Amino acid sequence: MNKFPTKLLLNGKWLEGSGASRLVVTNPATEETFAEVSSATVGEIGSAAEAGQVAFESSWRDMPPGQRAELLRGIAKLIRENTESIAQLETRNVGKPIGDARWEIDAGAKVFEYYAGAIGHLCGQTIPVARGGLDFTLRQPMGVIAAITPWNFPFLIACWKVAPALAAGNSVVLKPASLTPLTALCLGQLAQEAGLPDGVLQVLPGSGHEAGNALATHPLIRKIGFTGSTEVGAKIMKLAADDIKRVSLELGGKSPNIVFADADWHRAALESPMSVFANTGQDCCARSRMFIEQSIFDDFVSQFVSATEELNIGDPLLDDTQIGPMVSSDQRELSESFIAEAKGDGRNVLTGGERLSGSGFYLKPAVVTGTEINDRVWREEIFGPVVCLRPFSDEAAMISEVNDTSFGLSGSVWSKDLNRALRVANRVESGVISINSHSSVHTEAPFGGFKSSGLGRDLGMSAMEACTEIKNIYVGE
């Protein structure tokens, strides 16, 4: 895939968008522009919604499940055959280290394989109703589903949205983030090569305020599967309310990382930097608020800072790079503003916060202590390489501090006392929590947030069921 698509994939055809504006694609490691992509207009979104409806009714909805599963397996196979070229493109577009990009593309293939298998497990129920007769439910597809995705995991999150929706028998219009449209277009191309009927998966890059907005308001779109910021998620929910569109929202986070003194805390100190600085902190699951038991606080901080300083920052195309540049100059400036404010408030920035010399939107991971709970750096999602650590002494007080946030996406608890770890995990208000681990995402398990971190779940059977309507059928005696 040396040549990559840059046009709109609309009803099986690659079209130059009719709008005047184009999306400019920049390599964050060099700051050079390397592609321009068509940007869908409101009219083109409308055409895609109509074509999606035709494809849904004429081919996809009624295709035998086994045949649909074979097509999804075919997409997975093509993703695997093209992993290296898609990963290279993802790295050039997002700035993420090539090793991470390879992992994400491979994970995208697994998502398609999982949902190909899941098709055979999408079952209704038979229900013993009081008056007798036969009562049963069907899980029926909805129609055209829109997937609106962010720039931090462009290929993988597109797979999370597209695969369960297709598996359940819906057609999909995918709108990737305007900063990172390329690998979503590759997914569209591979789906075409795999033999998906025209209009079943359409990919239309475009701006949020034009293309995204048009999807959220189009009457033929039955559901919006959105991943992005809490602010835009709330806007989409309001837009969707007018015609009661279904929404699933995966939004921001400010996740806790809780380390008790009885944990293998040396290991936690060594592994925790990557739980917040991976993808240069541009990760909704980033564990950016750390709660460390007072008795180990100083030693833990010192080991955590050393481990952070050992991270290999640089050219994301090199195999041993762990931290690449941020996605854009704006994102870097946003993180820098939080660091400057923390310094201005007299907080301790123990390491990091500086740019690397030369080109590229690099920012060294910053470690902050001495914050107060009302500091912006402690409370707000930064979406950059900044972490705050605070000590705690009392478990109950710590848990109320952990939950004193509007977010509730993910988090970790470190303790060798499993009763304690489970007690704390049970009390933390978040959709996902890991014990003695930083792993949050598993293809087979539901992923999503409490409170302002979202509504509904990606992955697992939950995501596929959420792309269906339940129909109850009663047969009288």
Q: List residues near ligand NAD by CB under 6 A.
A: 148-153, 175, 177-178, 208-209, 212-213, 216, 227-229, 232, 235-236, 250-253, 284, 381, 383, 409, 449, 454
d(CA 106, CA 103): 5
284 is catalytic: yes
**Which is the catalytic residue, given 250, 271, 336, 381?**
250
Angle at 17 between CA 16 and CA 18, to 5 degrees: 115
The set of residues, in sequence order, having a beta carbon less than 8 Å from that of 198 and lying 6+ positions away, is 11, 12, 13, 51, 55
Tokens (6 digits) for 370: 């001495």
Evaluate whether 67 touches 296 at the Cβ level (below 8 Å): no
Evaluate whether 431 touches 409 at the Cβ level (below 8 Å): yes
d(CA 282, CA 318): 20
Q: Which is nearer to ligand NAD, 68 or 175 (CB)?
A: 175
The two most distant CA atoms of the chain are separated, in Å, by 79
285 is catalytic: no
Tokens (6 digits) for 217: 């308001």
Shortest Cβ 252–ligand NAD spacing (Å):
3
d(CA 63, CA 417): 51
Q: Which is nearer to ligand NAD, 40 or 194 (CB)?
A: 40
Q: Which of 176, 22, 17 is nearest to 90 (CA)?
A: 176
Sign of CA dihedral 80, 81, 82, 87: positive
Q: How far is CA 151 from CA 56, 105, 172, 258, 383, in A?
A: 28, 15, 19, 28, 12
Q: Which is nearer to ligand NAD, 253 or 352 (CB)?
A: 253
Q: How far is CA 360 from CA 20, 61, 67, 329, 339, in A?
A: 29, 46, 46, 9, 19
The one-letter amino acid at 276 = V
In the sheet with 171-175, reading across from the earlier edge strand, the strands are 13-15, 8-10, 201-203, 171-175, 144-148, 221-227, 246-250, 454-455
Shortest Cβ 69–ligand NAD spacing (Å):
26
Shortest Cβ 284–ligand NAD spacing (Å):
3
Q: Which is nearer to ligand NAD, 365 or 454 (CB)?
A: 454
Tokens (6 digits) for 26: 């920049």
d(CA 435, CA 70): 37
Q: Which helix (H) or strand (E) holds 293?
A: strand 289-293
Shortest Cβ 116–ligand NAD spacing (Å):
22
Evaluate whether 187 touches 162 at the Cβ level (below 8 Å): yes
**Which is the catalytic residue, given 186, 284, 285, 467?**
284
Shortest Cβ 104–ligand NAD spacing (Å):
12
Shortest Cβ 141–ligand NAD spacing (Å):
23
The one-letter amino acid at 127 = I
Q: Which is nearer to ligand NAD, 235 or 438 (CB)?
A: 235
Q: Which is nearer to ligand NAD, 291 or 407 (CB)?
A: 407
Shortest Cβ 283–ligand NAD spacing (Å):
7
Neighbours of 325 (CB within 10 A): 28
Q: Which is nearer to ligand NAD, 168 or 463 (CB)?
A: 463
Q: Which is nearer to ligand NAD, 236 or 398 (CB)?
A: 236
Shortest Cβ 151–ligand NAD spacing (Å):
4
Q: Which is nearer to ligand NAD, 59 or 462 (CB)?
A: 462
E-strand stretches of 20-79: 22-27, 32-38
Shortest Cβ 31–ligand NAD spacing (Å):
19
Residues with a known catalytic role: 250, 284
